Amino acid sequence: MFAAAPRIALAAIAASTLCLTACNFSFSAGGPDYDKLEKTISDELKGSYSEITPDAPTVTCPRDQAEPKKGDTFICTADVEGKPVRVEVTVKDDEGNVGYSTLDIVYEQTRTEKWLESDIEAKMGFPVTVKCDSGLTIVAVGETFTCTAVDEASVQKTVEVKADDVGKESWRIVD
């Protein structure tokens, strides 16, 4: 039967999560080029998400700042298979250099199930079958989602997965 499992911080699990870490880009040459910024972010995300979708995500950035200044931030939205992923853009200097990173983590649930099955067995000492929602789940950094684990005796428990940070997850048995 399941015992309470400690929250375990994991190393980067590229197979279960997909995200964009901090990147830099210059999008100003006589004023901000939002189309260029959106394409650059889309291309980066396409590379990061190539295992889950062959298409580059459509990225939309607000255009309400005619001349963004150093320290300004804004949120662009990427459409990944119909699901929104937020990308925070920070203006680094007055020359239009920006940095950007995702605020959300994309979980491909089939991979998440396999990762949890393996990790729970390694930590708890017995095999389980894990079922999460199907498809993609988008989770804000610091937030959680749940899956269900069933052991060989058909004891069912809820597993809470927390997106601790980009590339780091933890899980715990919550009931």
pLDDT for the residue numbered 29? 56
Would you write out the chain's pLDDT as a tens digit for each of its 175 residues? Answer: 322 222 222 222 333 344 454 455 565 556 678 899 999 999 999 888 888 888 889 999 998 877 788 899 999 999 999 999 999 999 888 777 888 999 999 999 999 999 999 999 999 999 999 999 999 999 999 999 999 999 999 999 999 999 987 678 899 999 8
What is the identity of the amino acid at 171? W
Three-class SS of residue 36?
helix
Residue (of 108, 102, 169) closest to 136 by Cα position: 108
Burial class for 172, CB neighbours closer than 10 Å (0-12, 13-18, 19+) = middle
pLDDT of residue 97: 85
The answer to whether residues 121 and 6 touch, using CB atoms and an 8 Å cutoff, is: no
What is the value of pTM for the model shown?
Answer: 0.78
Distance CA 17, CA 77 (A): 18
Domain ranges of the chain: 19-105, 107-173
pLDDT score at 27: 59
Q: What pLDDT score does 26 carry? A: 60
